Structure 1
Amino acid sequence: MRLSPSEQRAEPFPRLLPYLLLIGGGIGLVAAFVLAVEKIALLKNPAYVPSCSINPVLSCGSIMSTPQAELFGFPNPLLGVAGFAIVTTTGVALLAGAVLKRWFWAGLQIGVTAGVVFVHWLIYQSLYVIGALCPYCMVVWAVTIPIFLYVTLRNLARPFARNHVIVLTLWYLAVLALITIRFWTYWSSLV
């Protein structure tokens, strides 16, 4: 069942959100899957160097060997594979014309909120505890933020939807600034 024009006006981003969930979820799913494969390879062979270990700062291997990489007793990328599969499927369903119940949106809100909180905990751990960045993890960070923002705007903050681009831009700039400041010594040594 398709939304009527008045329902579409009442819901912010009726065209953007399905594509964001499909594409962002798909990108996150691929990144989480690659991380899971890399983690399995590392578990099989401790001498394995993951493809995303590029230099001392961009180093998945050093992150994958920490307790933070298995917060719940299993590799974190498995959470991403499951979560992004749900997000991607939701995008497909919306594009197919599905009208999702309020309880589904509430559940998705809980999931994306848990995801964005977990991602920011991982950002903190990467920057200030581990001292390295994982490129695939950063892809997950990059897609989780807008997925959370737009699902939240759809569910809870419709009056604030007008400033969505500013909020998203400032959020990305804040994360980028933290990364730049934290690793400034390394980045400046490359110039």
Structure 2
Amino acid sequence: MVYHRGFDRVVNFSDAVVAIAATLLILPLVDNATPDQGQNAFALLLDHSDELWAFVLTFAVICRLWVVQHGIFRTLVGYTTPLLAVNFLWLISVVFLPFPSNLIAKGSQEFPGSASIYVGTIALATGATMLTRIIVRRTPELEVEEERGSVPVGHAVITFVLMLAAFALSFTPVGLFSLVALFLERPVTRAASSFRR
């Protein structure tokens, strides 16, 4: 059953949760913003470059996850119970992301496995996005009439498979660099489209 009433609240709630998660990323940097006597701001930034890098990377990841989710939800006029459940799964992965981000900022020597938790959390989010696309494809009345069938599923499946590969690689010495696998997303999608034709 498709629910139309209250759909705006679902979207607004999701946006608020993402905004809070993105805001939480800065807190470790704020805690470190106490320079030693005579230390300038640039030296302080250099001392905390790992935390700064983790902040920028994770902020970009959260923004990317939101843009993809927004692209799906902008075509919708309602929701179903399965869609709501999958959206909550997506939200919990986004909200959890600041935790492994803080771990990778502290370094893999201090917290072994932190890269795997980080990549695994992103894989969970992309898996939830894939399920969202499948639900929308199977329930066309969720979309505005002129957009029906416009949400592609194949692209989401490819992204999820690449994220699973990145997750597997994150347990090796490659660690966080396993996310480079995502650069294969466009070539693999193009190759899959050509093969289908």
Q: What band does the TM-score fall into relative to the shorter chain? A: 0.3 to 0.5
TM-score, normalization by structure 2: 0.40
Larger radius of gyration: 2
TM, length-normalised to structure 1 = 0.41
Higher normalized contact order (CA 8 Å, seq sep 6+, divided by chain length): 1
